[in-house]
Amino acid sequence: MNKRIVFVFALVVALLLASCAPAATPTSAPPTAAPATSVPAPTTAATATQAPPIKIGISLSLSGDFSADGMAFQQGYQLWADMVNKNGGLLGRQVQLDIVSDASSPDQVQTNYQKLITVDKVDLVFGPFSTLLTKPSSVVANRYGYALVEGAGGGPSVFTQGLNNVFDVSLPVANNLTSFVQYILSLPPAQRPTTAAYATEDDPFTQPQVDLAKQQLEAGGVKTASYQVYPAETTDFNPIGDKIIASKAQVVVVGTLLPDFTAFLQRFRQQHYNPQAFIATAGPDQGDAFTKAIGGANVAEAIMVPNGWYAGSNNPGNADMVKAYIAQYGGTPDSISSDVPEAVSVGQVVEQAVTKINSLDNAKLIAELHSGDTFNSVQGDVKFDSTGQNVAALAYLFQWQNGSLVPIFPANAAGAVQPEFPKPNWP
Amino acid sequence: MAQLILEAIITGILSGAVYALMASGLTLIFGVMEIINIAQGALVILGAYLSYALQDKFHIDLFMGLLLTMPVMFLLGLLIEIVLIRPLKRDRTMLSILVTFAIALIIEGVLGVFFGTNYVQLHSWYIDSTIQIGDYYLSYIYIFGFVLSLILLGLLYFLLYRTKFGFGLRASMQNRTAAELIGIDVERVSAITFGIGVALAAAGGMAYGATSAFNPASHLDLISRLLVIIILGGMGSMKGAPIASVVMLVIEDVTSVIWSPVWANTVFFALLVVILLVRPRGLFGQLESRKQ
């Protein structure tokens, strides 16, 4: 009797879990009204449908800590696949994404890529979300001679492993805040802040950025009033926020993702602490998700965030991607997560490289990506150095103004507006 | 620095009260049923999302919303106990970990489908508004959350120590078999206890969601902290859970301001190890009496 109950229960749980699992494995790419890519279609769509599809294996964080970013990456990869398939496919074959969820776990992501390569026998692999997961993934891909092109694993530690198969299409992480530093140091001496406070999660994505910004601002004469590093498992950010507040720093730089940034912002509001400039490595770039989490776009006024992309940039294919995204997923240009163009850029770069070598051979692909050629992407030019970092990427500085995230630096960026400085008091 | 330490102590006590709500449900369930409800964190997050939905769709105040969410969560708790927990007759403690973990994953999946995976936070005037005490501003949500915790834990105390049901519940906590022998319907008590524990998760979830951003996966961080709290307080001890919650939060917050956030967890866990060496049952554990 007991065995029967346990069996029935296990069956129910298994069925429920299967029905609730957010992972889409594998997903084919239904054609949608998408724009042409930057690469001309090599064959007709009719030819493409006759050949077997090209399978691209991807592990994404569809649950766990990185699930919001993982979902956005899934949208981006799917958007690219739709664009390619609409235009006749890649090398005359349709593209099929084989996406599995790693639950934000560095262990699971290794298992996933191992399975994608050895069991699913995918032709190519694209990267997961975050430096934390890219690092172990690149080792697995390297073991089997696969190129791992990715858009969100830009932490320096990814590129010091001595691997030649990992390529990040986005701005190198450590340089993310350089545009902010340049902006602050470009202010007239009378206006320029003299003190800054820093707090960062001990994450390979956030800490290198904050550390470099601190070093550069100190060199520029901005004294460090407070510097704190906190572990990823921190849930109570109030004491950290209180130390920043007590430092009375004029500039606050936080190495955060959305949840910890929200906690800092709430604490600063509650304590009526109004720094002249407030910037985060990530969080304010999450569009609607960000403004909703902090309680409205008016709260976001003058908050800054660095990024390598924005909806209004005039990079090749960007306007079409924005249009296609809104057609497929709804929302507004401002609501598009910056994860989406990072994922699309991965697809674009691989598409151009594969087309150029006219092959899916990963050894040839790695050689092409290391060749010094410049590729186009919705994030701008992509050119890899010997370690696989994109040396052609530009860092833009953004600020929330009147409910929109707008570029403010460099001043000659498309659509750049006058920065709002100092930041007004909290509403 | 003295000011910062004082602020950390105040924040720790007030935040600890919120954790006390969540942990009390967990320790109550363990005390009566001898099962470890790994789904408690997910149920807290479910409670937070229910409050979020009521506020977002129907503009119902977060505290008023508890009048709806707590009964609903109580019924959900009853259902879970009757359908999924009660059939476990052997190796209850071990099997319950697997079953409740499955429940947690199901809740996470369902929340992901309905609400997506983006982080959200509850908002109301009492979350952003503050009262000034010297140079320090205290948000009303911490005060209200503390009062809510006192009221609900007070009601729980009344239920446990001043009612016939509480007598049966405490008897079940002390010795399940003996309680059955003197005519207490232990299965009924268990179901209601599970319901109460889950209803407390609804209240804890609202307070948690008002002070922290959350998404469906937030339960994973939460459950590990709740388990640590009830281990420190003593598994099954109703007195231990609130005290351990406050102790944990205060130690972490004070360590964070006088030393570094990196050491906050380390110092707390070092103290936990020392306490467990001296008192293996936790601060107020009753394990030995349960073994009769």
Residue A50 burial (C-beta neighbours within 10 Å; 0-12, 13-18, 19+)? exposed
**Which pLDDT value is given to residue B286?**
65
Rounded Cα gap, residues B24 and B71, in angstroms = 17
Are the Cβ atoms of B127 and A266 closer than 8 angstroms? yes
Task: Tally A–B CB contacts below 8 A.
Answer: 153
Residues in B touching A68 (Cβ below 8 Å):
116-119, 215
Residue type, A389: Q
What residues pair up with B214 in beta bridges, in sequence order?
B120
| DSSP SS3 for A55 | strand
Are the Cβ atoms of B264 and A262 closer than 8 angstroms? no
Over residues A261-267, the mean pLDDT reads 92
Are the Cβ atoms of A272 and B7 closer than 8 angstroms? no
Total residue length of chain B: 292
Rounded Cα gap, residues A393 and A397, in angstroms = 13
Q: Within 13 A of B111's CA, how many CA atoms are on the CB side?
A: 31
Residue from B255, B229, B231, B254 nearest B244 by CA: B229
B-contacting residues in A 331-370 (Cβ below 8 Å): none
**Which pLDDT value is given to residue A13?**
42
- pLDDT tens track, chain B, 292 positions: 788 888 889 888 998 998 998 998 888 888 777 888 999 999 999 999 999 999 989 999 999 999 999 999 999 999 999 999 888 877 888 888 999 999 999 999 899 888 887 788 898 888 888 888 877 888 899 999 999 999 998 998 888 888 888 888 888 877 878 888 888 888 888 889 899 999 999 999 999 999 888 888 889 888 988 999 988 888 878 888 899 999 998 998 899 888 888 888 888 888 888 888 888 888 887 654 444 3
Residue A65 forms contact with B (CB below 8 Å): yes
Structural Rg of chain A based on CA atoms: 22
| DSSP SS3 for A159 | helix
User: In which residue are the tokens 């460099």 written?
Assistant: A410
* CA distances from residue A218 to A160, A185, A252, A410 in whole angstroms, order as listed: 26, 10, 14, 21
What residues pair up with A229 in beta bridges, in sequence order?
A200
CB B258: neighbour CB atoms within 10 A?
A: 15
Containing H/E element for A400?
Answer: strand A396-401
Q: What is the dihedral of CA A301, A307, A311, A313, to 10 degrees?
A: 120
Whether this model's ipTM surpasses 0.85 comes out as: no
- Please write the tens of the pLDDT for every residue from B190-212: 889 899 999 999 999 999 999 88
Least CB–CB distance from B119: residue in A234, A293, A296: A293
Residue A392 forms contact with B (CB below 8 Å): no
Distance of CA A68 to the CA centre of its chain: 11
How confident is the prediction for chain A on average, in pLDDT?
A: 86
Rounded Cα gap, residues B216 and A68, in angstroms = 10
CB B12 within 8 A of CB B152: no
Pair type for strands A195-201 and A148-150: unpaired
A16-40: string of b/e by CB count within 10 Å (b at 16+)?
beeebbbbbebbebeeeebbebbbe
pTM over 0.80: no
Residue type, B276: L
Residue type, A4: R
Nearest CA in chain B to A199: B261
Least confident of A139-143, A258-262, B283-287: B283-287
Min Cα–Cα distance to chain A from B257, Å: 6
Are the Cβ atoms of A2 and B99 closer than 8 angstroms? no
Rounded Cα gap, residues A127 and A113, in angstroms = 10
B220-240: string of b/e by CB count within 10 Å (b at 16+)?
bbbbebbbbbbbbbbbbbbeb
Residue A232 forms contact with B (CB below 8 Å): no
CB A351 within 8 A of CB A39: yes
Residue A258 forms contact with B (CB below 8 Å): yes
- Please write the tens of the pLDDT for every residue from A34-82: 333 433 333 444 444 568 999 999 999 988 778 888 999 999 999 999 9
The proportion of chain A whose per-residue pLDDT surpasses 90, expressed as a percent, equals 63
